[in-house]
Each structure stands twice: as C-alpha cells, then as structure tokens.
Amino acid sequence: MLNIVLFEPEIPANTGNIGRTCVATNTRLHLIEPLGFRLNEKAIKRAGMDYWDQLDVTTYIDYNDFLEKNPGAKIYMATTKAPNVYTDVKYEPDCYIMFGKESAGIPEEILVHHKEDSIRIPMVGDIRSLNLGNSVAIVLYEALRQNQFAGMNLEGHLHRLEWDI
C-alpha cells in the first residue's frame, strides 16, 4: 500500500480532495502537524465528500514524530527544487511520497538530506507550483502505474447499455 504524506498542509479543501484520492486508490494518508485547519471542519469534509470516514489517515505532532513512527520508510520528497523528474524513479509498493505545505513546500533543512529521493513535476517558465491536490494525483498515479495498479479496478462497465463493437 502506497503512502501520501502532507507536511503541514494549510488548505482544508486540498487535504479533503487528497483524502478522497487516497480512498479511491487504497492509499494511506499521513498528516504532519501543525495543520492549517481542524480535521472536523466542514471544508475538509465537503472536499472529501462522503469518503472521509473510509480514509486510512494518521496524524503526527511533527516531522520527527513521523520519522520515529515510520522507521526505515522509503520517502520520496516532491518539491519544485528537486533534481529528479517524478517519472525517473522506481516507486516501491509501500513507499511514502511527501508533499510540503501550500505556501512554502518541504523545508530545505529536510530536503538537503534527500537529494536522490527528491522528485519534481516538470513545468515551464516561472510557475511557482501546481495545486497540491493535482500534484499528489500526478505523482501517486505514476507510482500506481509502476506497480501495475495493484488491487484496482482496471475496467469499467456501462450500467444500462452494451458497448458498441
């Protein structure tokens, strides 16, 4: 099972959307405090819709608490400062992919120890970053693809009609 880690997320709608994506992909969500919202806020529940109660989510008081409770975890750091493109790494089935807070990303004091495991989504020009929910979806689905979408529905079905052959 893959793991998404949000370092000090600030916007409840982003976290709610990411939570819904995690439920849809059977991915664990890890939230490192402080959070810019309360987990019982309407905005987070609205974005996560009625899936929030199905979410496997763990909170941590800080980054060190996260590391202590997940010893030996393989962590990829998603950041615009990374030297590696997100498609150039091999995601292990139980790895952790960390994303920073919306206003500042992952602190450089953490990144400096993770050069080989830092990944970025390519962008043109001086765009600062993509939306956090979009970034999580892009990288998570690449990790899922590399792991053959293990345990996921790979085929959809029409409800009332047959496919035209």
pLDDT band with cut points at 50, 70 and 90 for residue 106: very high
pLDDT band with cut points at 50, 70 and 90 for residue 44: low
72 belongs to an annotated ligand binding site: no
Q: Is residue 154 part of a domain?
A: no
48 belongs to an annotated ligand binding site: no
- Residue 13 tokens read as 């709608």
Domain of residue 130 covers 3-146
pLDDT band with cut points at 50, 70 and 90 for residue 38: confident
Whether the model clears a pTM of 0.75, i.e. scores above it, the answer is yes
pLDDT band with cut points at 50, 70 and 90 for residue 70: very high
How far are the Cα atoms of 39, 87, 113 from residue 138, in angstroms, in the given order? 24, 10, 24
119 belongs to an annotated ligand binding site: no
Q: Is residue 122 part of a domain?
A: yes
Q: Is residue 164 part of a domain?
A: no
